[in-house]
Structure 1
Amino acid sequence: MLNHADNYPGGEAPSNASDIAARCRDAGRSRFAWAAFTGTAGIVLAAAVAIGFRRRTG
């Protein structure tokens, strides 16, 4: 089981392993939120440009 492996370098888990895991989860959530926001903004911008282009060319 890859996600539940107990293979820390040196054999012992760091004393703050749960803090490290929490920071990793928070960073992942933050990056996902920014990616979703950026993707949505890109779609809105592309739609606005396409609408503007269609109106300009008649």
Structure 2
Amino acid sequence: MGEDFRLAMLPFTKGVYVNTPDLSIKNWPDAYFSCNFDRLMEVKAKYDPKNVFNFPQSIPLF
């Protein structure tokens, strides 16, 4: 039900909030970060190379 509701709301919203992880979102990088995902992976590699700040849907290392 959650994913159906999220998809129904897409025309009226600009994505989802990263502070409320939803493991049912299949394409979560796009939903949370949109066109910024590649740049955020670069920042992550530079400032958190040991992946200290991580959670199930955090920016991954390369």
Tell me the TM-score normalized by structure 2.
Answer: 0.27
Which structure shows the higher helix fraction?
Answer: 1
Identify the structure with bigger relative contact order (alpha carbons < 8 Å, sequence gap 6+): 2
Larger radius of gyration between Structure 1 and Structure 2: 1
In the superposition, the TM-score normalised over structure 1's length comes to 0.28
